[in-house]
């Protein structure tokens, strides 16, 4: 099978083309220190060609969901060192997905700290998860230019911390409505300065962050996740195809490792957005010569087909990898797959639904 062949992404030689997708599991403490059992969880899945970590907060301001880990204190860095060492001992590769939630946040999850965004526009029609139950999203504070520069510096610091923690590279989370995505889309970015308005201006934040990440960790060690067809968290735009065409062409000029491109998922109400791409791999994949990791509900057969066709070089799996720590081996043997326990996907401090899924 082609997805089980050795390959290369950026500066990393990978044993196969199967990628463990970033998956929030909400198993960190109130100080953003990831649970010690995460070392076992990630090491169990080191048969992936590449592991992309769950979204990691780059600062206190970046926190969105409860119980999510950070990478901005010594204690957090030390906790991640245990994980990267466990993965490397199991002959795996792991990179850190760096995240700032922007307006996808609530003061109850952030010790009273208000959310920030490109513009003071709240998410409507959805609820925020908090320790007190689901709550309406709040109107975020509009970022000043100086504050934007501070966030870019926070990404740079988090990238350096990731390398100190032993990660093999970093990925910018610029998908599904988090802060970089908020700068891109007109529904959340109505600024009048050079970070808003035109497609070029709205892409500026993402490009500047990527440049700083590359300068910090080196060429061929930085990826980015994009979701051109995900209106979740009120990510709407009048010309999304033009936006992503421009952005991907600009990213292609940088010495990045890869682009992780989410496909349009059935959970997204794309019937309401006929101008959104129905197949991002077909519409945008050809715009770059950098490796493409495609993501979005793939099975073994559909993953093999898209890699065999040359439309993507790697496929990332979320739920399948959550429930099947030895996923490449199961693909190789055409073995049955474990079913995920959805009740234990988020939160909890024990092994159940986390490290207790059986291998063959």
- 3-state SS, one letter per residue, for the chain: CHHHCCEEECCEEECCCEEECCCCCCCECCCCCECCCHHHHHHHCCCCCEEEEEEEECCHHHCCCCCCCECCCHHHHHHHHHHHHHHHHCCCCEEEEEECCCCCCCHHHCCCCCCEECCCCCCCCCEEEECCEEEECCCCEECCHHHHHHHHHHHHHHHHHHHHCCCCCEEEEECCCCHHHHHHCCCCCCCCCCCCCCHHHHHHHHHHHHHHHHHHHCCCCEEEEECCCCCCCCCCCCCHHHHHHHHHHHHHCCCCCEEEEECCCCCCCHHHCCCCCCCHHHHHHHHCCCCEEEECCCCHHHHHHHHHCCCCCEEEECHHHHHCCCHHHHHHHCCCCCCCCHHHCCCCCCCCCCCCCCCC
| Both tokens assigned to 267 | 């959970």
Catalytic residues: 178
| Both tokens assigned to 1 | 């099978």
**At which residue do the structure tokens 């440049």 appear?**
211
CA distances from 351 to 38, 111, 113, 130, 251 (A): 10, 28, 32, 23, 40
Q: What b/e string do you get for 73-82 counting C-beta neighbours within 10 Å, with b at 16 or more?
A: eeebbebbeb
Residue 342 to residue 183: CA distance in whole angstroms: 32
CA distances from 298 to 6, 113, 176 (A): 20, 38, 18
């Amino acid at each position: 099978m082609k997805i089980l062949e050795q390959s290369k992404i950026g500066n990393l030689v990978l044993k196969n083309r199967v990628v463990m997708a970033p998956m929030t599991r909400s198993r960190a403490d109130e100080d953003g220190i990831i649970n010690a059992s995460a070392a076992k969880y990630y090491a169990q899945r080191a048969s992936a060609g590449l592991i992309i970590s769950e979204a990691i907060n780059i600062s206190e301001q970046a926190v969105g969901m409860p119980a999510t880990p950070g990478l901005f204190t010594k204690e957090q860095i030390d906790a991640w060192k245990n994980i990267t060492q466990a993965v490397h001992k199991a002959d795996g590769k792991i990179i850190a997905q760096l995240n700032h939630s922007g307006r996808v946040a609530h003061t109850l999850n952030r010790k009273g700290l208000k959310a920030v965004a490109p513009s003071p526009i709240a998410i409507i029609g959805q609820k925020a998860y908090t320790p007190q139950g689901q709550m309406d999203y709040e109107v975020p504070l509009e970022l000043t230019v100086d504050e934007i520069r501070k966030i870019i510096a926070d990404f740079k610091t988090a990238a350096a911390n990731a390398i100190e923690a032993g990660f093999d590279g970093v990925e910018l989370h610029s998908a599904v409505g988090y802060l970089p995505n908020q700068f891109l889309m007109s529904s959340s970015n109505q600024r009048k300065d050079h970070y808003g308005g035109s497609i070029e201006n709205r892409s500026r934040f993402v490009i500047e962050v990527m440049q700083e990440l590359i300068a910090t960790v080196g060429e061929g060690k930085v990826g980015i996740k994009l979701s051109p067809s995900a209106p979740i968290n009120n990510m709407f735009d009048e010309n999304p195809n033009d936006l992503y065409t421009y952005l991907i062409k600009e990213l292609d000029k940088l010495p990045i490792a890869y682009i992780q491109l989410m496909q349009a998922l059935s959970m997204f109400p794309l019937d309401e957005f006929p101008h959104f791409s129905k197949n991002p791999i077909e519409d945008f994949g050809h715009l770059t010569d950098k490796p493409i990791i495609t993501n979005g509900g793939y099975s073994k057969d559909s993953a093999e087909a898209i890699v065999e066709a040359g439309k993507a070089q790697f496929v990332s799996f979320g739920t399948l990898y959550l429930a099947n720590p030895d996923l490449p081996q199961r693909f190789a043997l055409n073995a049955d797959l474990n079913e995920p326990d959805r009740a234990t996907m988020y939160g909890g401090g024990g092994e159940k639904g986390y490290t207790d899924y059986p291998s063959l």
